[in-house]
Amino acid sequence: MAGYLDGKVVAVTGGGGGIGRAVALAAAAEGAKVIVADIGVDMAGGDPKSEVAEAVVTEIAAAGGEAVSVADDVSTMAGGEHIIATAVEKWGRIDGVVAVAGILRERMLFNMSEDEWDPVIATHLKGHFTVFRAAAAVMRKQEGGGALIGFTSGAFSGSVAQANYASAKGGIVSLVRSAAAGLYRYGVTANAIAPVARTRMSENVPMELAEMGDPEDIAPMVVYLLSDKARHITGQIYTVVGKKIAVWNQPREVRAMYAADRWTPEEIEARLDSTVGVERMDLIDKLEEYRQAAAAKEQGQSS
């Protein structure tokens, strides 16, 4: 039976666990040769175990697929380059990169340390750059281009106790959009998934989420975006959760006002509220609802 990704070579970072594992298994089941890239760390990024990636390669082989493991740290240039070089050395090309690797170090902004900020930005944002950069250099020269898929989060639009994570996820959106624009002429697409799925990471959320699903619910959309059927789709952000797929809007200016000469603070004060105004921040409107939901979850756990 022909697979959706027959003949494609796809690297999945964070492919050893959670959503990445489901993506790696689904891509292999659809005929892709898969590089499972994972250093097998705990959720905060410590205690690496290379067996995590190897275990997924074994699962893929048992199901009749082809895969190879790379236990490199995606937050290093050498790690990103090695992941892509492994694909090229073994199979001669790289058609898709799915950047799923991630960690969490949650803290309120006023208490967050450098050691909580830097590794989260490095794993998520730089961890996308290292593999996208190495893959783009190959994809722009090969026939058929390629597909880059980033993993952001709804948290890119703001998050209460995750300034590090939210900033990294916002950076990933900008990186994906820049890749989409910069690589358009080379036939390389770039899109982002904002997933929600039951994994060790989502268990960490302080309240029950209204929408929830499994890692296997995310994988089909990733497979589709990696395929030749989705070559017309680039620069998009898709929420994927359970049975739902939703597209995010493109950021753009919505209202403007102009000064006769240079603005003064007094003139701005006189006109801003009644003309340009503000756009409501949904998250601020929902803070009280979230606080109550977190309290209810905590109470449920302690009773």
Ligand X SMILES: NC(=O)c1ccc[n+]([C@@H]2O[C@H](COP(=O)([O-])OP(=O)(O)OC[C@H]3O[C@@H](n4cnc5c(N)ncnc54)[C@H](O)[C@@H]3O)[C@@H](O)[C@H]2O)c1
Chain residues binding ligand X by CB under 6 A are 13-14, 16-20, 38-41, 43, 45, 52, 73-75, 100-103, 123, 127, 151, 153, 195-197, 199-202
Q: Are 236 and 189 in contact (CB under 8 A)?
A: no
Q: How far is the CB of 240 from ligand X (least distance, A)?
A: 10
Shortest CB 209 distance to ligand X, Å = 8
Query: Which has the closest alpha carbon to 82: 136, 139, 135, 10?
Result: 135
Catalytic residue among 69, 165, 167, 227: 165
Check if 4 is active-site: no
Catalytic residue among 8, 126, 169, 227: 169
Paired tokens of 203: 């268990």
Give me the helices (H) in the chain, please: 18-29, 51-62, 77-91, 114-121, 127-139, 163-182, 215-226, 265-271, 282-302
Whether the CB-CB separation of 153 and 101 falls below 8 Å is answered with no
Judge whether 153 counts as a catalytic residue: yes
Characterise 290 by phi-psi region: left (phi > 0), alpha (psi -120 to 50), beta (else). Answer: alpha
Q: Pick between residue 21 and residue 93 the one whose CB is nearest to ligand X.
A: 21
Q: Find the shortest distance in angstroms from Cβ 253 to ligand X.
A: 28
Q: Are 47 and 179 in contact (CB under 8 A)?
A: no
Nearer to ligand X, 16 or 145 (CB): 16
Of 41 and 219, nearer to ligand X (C-beta) is: 41
The residue at minimum Cβ distance from ligand X is 18
103 vs 145, beta carbon nearer ligand X? 103
Q: 165 an active-site residue?
A: yes
Tell me which residue of 239, 32, 56 sits closest to 146, measured CA to CA: 32
Q: How far is the CB of 104 from ligand X (least distance, A)?
A: 7
Provide the annotated active-site residues.
153, 165, 169
